[in-house]
């Protein structure tokens, strides 16, 4: 690819600084590959864990209880990682806004990779008793701490690198990373379920996917060595010598009146809009990609390979869905596409569950594939750019990371536990469809209340709302 120069997305706007920050097409490519790979690793790690929690962890780490209670316990260990993600979002988000995006992304990927690899060497409950699930939770917490800012950092980096008219498409590569990671994890588990016997899977086979993630971590770290800092971060008027000015330092700066007016903006509205936008995608993801895998295998007593196969094929279809949604957002605006995707997900919730519980393999596969692409991957492709555009440059990393992770705790982490409890109490699948509708309705309302952010100057320090 030609190493031609291109201007930072914020530099052509009236409020941009005088010296334009330029990045070559090669720089954009490196940033895109880095963001895609890091996000792929994050979601591969988390999907490996979520599938393991649904398929084998209930037997390996929580034996001796009923299948329903074991599934709830396994889902709970899946959920605790989201608490650590919140802490990571605060810690690394502030660091990323203060000293730049690039340095933070090195730390987050290392924490994720090491903790995920160590899960693959954990002793089981039969070996060391209650210490085994305690260690599992501890590693899940470390994994979550690193992941808390990984996807936010990758999202910010790509959005700030992208040309304005292609920002939705370029930023959607983060979603392709999540798709790639989900696909890799699902394919690995699908292969293990087909090739290995039950005894082999429970004794040593479940360890292989976690150990293989170490290779991906080494490759991701190597790629990130050559990625330059975000051009928007370097162009920010409050950044001097690569470090953002504190509030006290802003008062002494030559451009103090302009900077103070921007950083004193009252915060909150943009954050809550982003949090509500996140709710639909995060909640739907926890139900479709995590809970339904265990529900189909245990409550419906169907072949455990079916849901992992559905997620695998759905992820493959996502390689078309994600860039298409990104391009549609660039063409018609963020609000219109958010509205369409949310309405389609709401309308499809009950038909999807009827297909899954029909007893037909073809219907189950189609229902999960369509639900995954409409309510999870499609919304994620749009979320990647919209949330970055909602926030001002000074606190973009922190606010984006917090809105993603709080949304993850409230929807993705807690959702599967609630779904497991409701389906066990009612003996029916309808609570799953109802939760999909509630999550998607929250996002629909937020989309209608949000300002249109398409084409916004990302160097601006104030939020869009």
Summarised one tens digit per residue, pLDDT across range 409-422 is 888 778 888 998 89
Per-residue pLDDT, 5: 43
Categorize the per-residue pLDDT at 3 as very low, low, confident or very high, splitting at 50, 70 and 90: very low
User: Which of these, 62, 428, 368, 309, lies nearest to 419 by C-alpha position?
Assistant: 428
Q: Which residue has the tokens 């994720």?
A: 112
Per-residue pLDDT, 149: 87
| Tens digit of each residue's pLDDT (9 = 90 or more) over 263-301 | 777 788 999 999 999 999 999 998 998 888 888 878 887
User: Which of these, 45, 156, 144, lies nearest to 105 by C-alpha position?
Assistant: 156
9 has a pLDDT exceeding 80: no
Q: State the average pLDDT over residues 81-91.
A: 85
- Which DSSP symbol is given to 163? -
Every domain of the chain and the residues it spans: 24-226+252-449
Q: Which two tokens stand for residue 100?
A: 């730049």
Q: State the average pLDDT over residues 320-331.
A: 95
User: Which of these, 258, 241, 238, lies nearest to 249 by C-alpha position?
Assistant: 238
Per-residue pLDDT, 341: 96
394 has a pLDDT exceeding 80: yes
State the distance between the two ends of the chain, measured CA to CA, in whole angstroms. 38
pTM: 0.82
Q: For residues 75 and 55, give the distance between their C-alpha atoms in angstroms, rounded to a whole number.
A: 11
Per-residue pLDDT, 63: 67
Categorize the per-residue pLDDT at 135 as very low, low, confident or very high, splitting at 50, 70 and 90: confident
**β-bridge pairing 243-244 and 239-240:** antiparallel
Q: Please tell me which residue, 375 or 309, carries the higher pLDDT value.
A: 375
Q: For residues 389 and 20, give the distance between their C-alpha atoms in angstroms, rounded to a whole number.
A: 20
Q: For residues 128 and 444, give the distance between their C-alpha atoms in angstroms, rounded to a whole number.
A: 48
Q: State the average pLDDT over residues 28-39.
A: 81
Q: Please tell me which residue, 398 or 255, carries the higher pLDDT value.
A: 398
Q: For residues 297 and 235, give the distance between their C-alpha atoms in angstroms, rounded to a whole number.
A: 52
Q: State the average pLDDT over residues 150-172.
A: 90
Per-residue pLDDT, 10: 45
Q: For residues 235 and 9, give the distance between their C-alpha atoms in angstroms, rounded to a whole number.
A: 10
How many other CB atoms are there within 10 angstroms of residue 134's CB atom? 11
Q: Which two tokens stand for residue 134?
A: 């305690």
Give residue 456's region: left, alpha or beta (phi > 0; psi -120 to 50).
beta
Q: State the average pLDDT over residues 112-129.
A: 84
Contact (Cβ atoms closer than 8 angstroms) between residue 444 and residue 339? yes
Classify 240 as helix, strand or coil.
strand
Q: For residues 150 and 112, give the distance between their C-alpha atoms in angstroms, rounded to a whole number.
A: 9
127 has a pLDDT exceeding 50: yes
| Tens digit of each residue's pLDDT (9 = 90 or more) over 180-199 | 887 788 788 888 888 888 78
Per-residue pLDDT, 258: 65
Q: What backbone phi and psi angles, to 5 degrees, belong to 323? A: -65, -30
> Which range is least confidently modeled, 64-78, 234-248, 317-331?
64-78
Q: Which two tokens stand for residue 120?
A: 């693959």
Per-residue pLDDT, 410: 84
Classify 244 as helix, strand or coil.
strand
- Which DSSP symbol is given to 205? G
CATH topology of domain 24-226+252-449: Growth Hormone; Chain: A; (1.20.1250)
| Tens digit of each residue's pLDDT (9 = 90 or more) over 230-249 | 889 888 888 877 787 777 77
What secondary structure does DSSP assign to 28-86, as a single string? HHHHHHHHHHHHHHHHHHHHHHHHHHHHTHHHHTSTTS-HHHHHHHHHHHHHHHHHHHH
366 has a pLDDT exceeding 50: yes
431 has a pLDDT exceeding 90: yes
Q: According to the per-residue pLDDT averaged within each range, which of 175-184, 218-227, 317-326 is highest?
A: 317-326
Q: For residues 168 and 174, give the distance between their C-alpha atoms in angstroms, rounded to a whole number.
A: 11
| CB burial of residue 139 (10 Å; 0-12, 13-18, 19+) | buried
Q: Which residue has the tokens 């599992």?
A: 136
2 has a pLDDT exceeding 50: no
Per-residue pLDDT, 4: 42
**Whole-number percent of the chain with pLDDT over 70:** 89
**β-bridge pairing 239-240 and 22-24:** unpaired
User: Which of these, 50, 220, 158, lies nearest to 385 by C-alpha position?
Assistant: 158
Classify 461 as helix, strand or coil.
coil
Q: For residues 290 and 399, give the distance between their C-alpha atoms in angstroms, rounded to a whole number.
A: 26
What secondary structure does DSSP assign to 127-182, as a single string? HHTTHHHHHHHHHHHHHHHHHTTHHHHHHHHHHHHS-GGGHHHHHTHHHHHHHHHH
């Amino acid at each position: 690819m030609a190493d031609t120069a291109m201007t930072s997305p914020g530099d052509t706007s009236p409020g941009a600084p005088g010296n334009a920050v330029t990045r070559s097409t090669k720089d954009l490519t490196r940033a895109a590959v880095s963001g895609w790979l890091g996000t792929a690793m994050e979601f591969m790690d988390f999907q490996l864990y979520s599938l393991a929690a649904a398929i084998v962890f209930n037997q390996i780490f929580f034996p001796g209880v009923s299948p329903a209670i074991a599934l709830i316990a396994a889902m709970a260990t899946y959920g605790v990682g989201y608490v650590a993600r919140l802490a990571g979002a605060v810690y690394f988000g502030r660091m990323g806004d203060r000293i730049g995006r690039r340095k933070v992304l090195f730390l987050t990927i290392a924490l994720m990779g090491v903790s995920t690899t160590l899960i693959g060497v954990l002793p089981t409950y039969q070996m060391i008793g209650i210490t085994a699930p305690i260690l599992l939770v501890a590693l899940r917490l470390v994994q979550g701490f690193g992941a808390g800012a990984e996807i936010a950092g990758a999202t910010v980096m790509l959005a700030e690198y992208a040309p304005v008219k292609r920002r939705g498409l370029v930023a959607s590569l983060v979603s392709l990373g999540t798709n790639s990671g989900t696909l890799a994890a699902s394919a690995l588990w699908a292969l293990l379920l087909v090739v290995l016997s039950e005894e082999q899977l429970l004794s040593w086979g479940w360890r292989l996917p976690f150990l293989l993630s170490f290779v991906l971590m080494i490759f991701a770290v190597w790629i990130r060595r050559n990625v330059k800092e975000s051009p928007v971060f370097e162009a920010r008027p409050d950044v001097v010598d690569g470090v953002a000015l504190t509030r006290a330092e802003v008062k002494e700066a030559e451009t103090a009146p302009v900077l103070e007016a921007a950083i004193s903006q009252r915060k909150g509205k943009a954050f809550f809009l982003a949090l509500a936008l996140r709710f639909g995608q995060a909640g739907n993801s926890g139900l479709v990609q995590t809970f339904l895998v265990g529900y189909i295998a245990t409550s419906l007593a169907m072949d455990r390979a079916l849901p992992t196969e559905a997620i695998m094929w759905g992820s493959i279809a996502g390689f078309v869905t994600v860039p298409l949604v990104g391009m549609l957002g660039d063409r018609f605006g963020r609000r219109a596409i958010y509205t369409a995707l949310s309405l389609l997900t709401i309308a499809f919730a009950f038909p999807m569950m009827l297909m899954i519980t029909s007893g037909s393999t073809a219907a189950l596969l189609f229902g999960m594939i369509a639900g995954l692409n409409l309510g999870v991957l499609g919304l994620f492709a749009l979320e990647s750019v919209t949330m970055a555009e909602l926030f001002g440059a000074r606190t973009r990393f922190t606010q984006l990371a917090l809105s993603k992770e709080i949304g993850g705790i409230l929807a993705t982490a807690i959702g599967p536990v609630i779904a497991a409890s409701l389906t066990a109490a009612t003996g029916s699948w309808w609570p799953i469809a109802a939760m999909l509708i509630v999550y998607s309705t929250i996002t629909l309302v937020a989309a209608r209340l949000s300002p249109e952010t398409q084409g916004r100057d990302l160097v601006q320090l104030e939020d869009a709302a």
